Chains A and B, each alone.
Chain A
Amino acid sequence: MRGHGFLIANYVPGNSVIHRAPLLLKFLVVAACGAASFLVVDWAVSLVVFCIMCGLFLLSGAGLRRLAGAIRMVAPIVLVIGLFQWWQLGGPTAARIVLNILVCVVAASVLTATTPVQDLLDGVVSLAKPFRRFGADPERFALTIAVMLRSIPFIAGAFADVRDSARARGLERNPRALVLPVFITTVAYARQTGDALAARGLGEPEDPLEP
């Protein structure tokens, strides 16, 4: 399997203001950006928020290249969405929707670029603790995030590998030759991941009787 890109940036060690900011604050900013994408109706406001998020990302020291990388990963899909919305609802609405998506991507990248994964998972566990009373296991929330962080680049890599295989066989224009192997690889990967997690005892509820 080849190297993989990811739609949000990996952790970049540093000591910036953003790195030192409380995790809860960073979570709230990401949540607020998500909520704002439903509330903001003016593309100019979205543009300002997008610029602020990009500024925060650069302030963290993660660099322009990583920022561009995060945006480049979602660019094709955002472009398709933007063109469709432009055709259906006009330029300002399309610009607002595209900018709102990019705001969410950059905000999530600010969070992941400035927070070690384990701290992120600890934060998820803390946030999920109130759900314990409903029988939920907070560690499983964290594990879900961990598996998600891992699975997206894997599937992206699987698609790239399958595309190369299809090209080598002259089948690059055959959608079945592209989609079906990725689907099968993904299912096999899900099963392997399940086995690996089970073998390591991850995701199992804690036994209060055990030390």
Chain B
Amino acid sequence: MNSIHFDGVSVHVSVDGSDTAKTLLHDVSLELTERRIGVIGANGSGKSTLLRLLNGLVAPSEGRIVVHGDDTVANVRRIRRNVGFVFTDPLSQLVMPTGREDLELSLRRSIKNSKERAARAETVLARFGLLGLADQSIYELSGGERQLLALAAVLAVDPKVLVLDEPSTLLDLRNRELLRRTIAGLDQQVIMSTHDLDLAMDMNRVLVVESGRIVFDGDAEEGVARYRMLCAAALDELPTSSRKGDVPR
């Protein structure tokens, strides 16, 4: 039950409303049982599409996805309750003016009593060390604090699976480390796309996505090495004048 199945999943989209279809993901079949799974790959490779399938934000054109026993299309309500999703930019995710209000908004569906809701929000804020920032405008917070707040708002409803779409992209080194530690301490199954290869190295399993296909699936160290090779090969294909340096370490 506690696993995620991709069964022959493809995603096609029409280009500019025409009949021409572009394939974002090609025939993906996977079984994900590990607690920490990383998804790495170049921009536009299909990482976000793969993650959005898990929460039902994108429906597969072919195949099906089952997350902890629920089909992402047939049981989308339960999927949304069980699969938390954290976006790259927390500002697009935080709906309310302050952190406390946003957390309480997350809890509105599960806790009807406003006092209980406030108490639960207080507990979650305290757990993430955000109590001091709870009543500040989200625009007054740093990127790391916002991302932590977005994470807290998602975790407030206690999902079984946490999906993070490049959560560290907008963060500085200190906040990236804070996020890394926070994620490491979570009970949930975590699936995360990232360009941060140090973060990817923390994962139990890494998928490398290239042009909508899973080109590597296995150990984190090997996955990162494979991704570096792909980047190097892509750079080699560029005209000499476009190469500014080596593959980033």
The residues of A with any CB-CB pair to B shorter than 8 Å are: 1-4, 10, 13, 116-119, 121-122, 139, 142, 146-147, 149-150, 153, 157, 189, 192-193, 195-202, 204, 206-207, 210
New contact pairs (5) apart from A118-B108, A200-B80, A201-B77, CB-CB < 8 Å: A139-B109, A192-B87, A195-B92, A200-B153, A202-B108
| Interface CB pairs A-B, < 8 A, 20 | A1-B91, A3-B137, A118-B108, A118-B118, A146-B95, A150-B97, A157-B139, A192-B92, A193-B92, A195-B57, A196-B92, A199-B85, A201-B80, A201-B81, A202-B95, A202-B108, A204-B77, A204-B80, A206-B109, A210-B78
User: Is the beta-carbon distance between A196 and B95 smaller than 8 angstroms?
Assistant: yes
User: Is the beta-carbon distance between A10 and B97 smaller than 8 angstroms?
Assistant: yes
User: Is the beta-carbon distance between A200 and B154 smaller than 8 angstroms?
Assistant: yes
Q: How far is the CB of B101 from chain A (nearest CB, A)?
A: 5
Interface SS of chain A: helix
Measured in the bound complex, the distance between the Cα atoms of B118 and A200 in whole Å is 18
Q: Please, which residues of chain B bring their CB within 8 A of the CB of A121?
A: 105, 108
Measured in the bound complex, the distance between the Cα atoms of B80 and A206 in whole Å is 12
Residue of A4, A13, A202 near B109 (CB, 8 A) is: A202
User: Nearest CB to that of B107 among chain A residues?
Assistant: A118
Task: Determine whether B175 belongs to the interface, using a CB cutoff of 8 Å to chain A.
Answer: no
Q: How far is the CB of B119 from chain A (nearest CB, A)?
A: 12
> How many residues in B have their beta carbons less than 8 Å from beta carbons of A?
34
Q: Which of A10, A146, A195, A196 has the most CB of B within 10 A?
A: A196
Residue of B77, B81, B93 near A196 (CB, 8 A) is: B93
Measured in the bound complex, the distance between the Cα atoms of B139 and A204 in whole Å is 27
The residues of B with any CB-CB pair to A shorter than 8 Å are: 55-57, 77-78, 80-81, 84-85, 87, 89, 91-93, 95-98, 101, 104-106, 108-109, 114, 117-118, 135, 137, 139-140, 153-154, 157
User: Is the beta-carbon distance between A122 and B114 smaller than 8 angstroms?
Assistant: yes
User: Nearest CB to that of B106 among chain A residues?
Assistant: A200
User: Is the beta-carbon distance between A118 and B101 smaller than 8 angstroms?
Assistant: yes
Q: How far is the CB of B84 from chain A (nearest CB, A)?
A: 8
Q: Please, which residues of chain B bring their CB within 8 A of the CB of A118?
A: 101, 104-105, 108, 114, 117-118
Q: Please, which residues of chain A bring their CB within 8 A of the CB of B137?
A: 3, 10
Q: Please, which residues of chain A bring their CB within 8 A of the CB of B114?
A: 118-119, 122
User: Nearest CB to that of A117 among chain B residues?
Assistant: B101
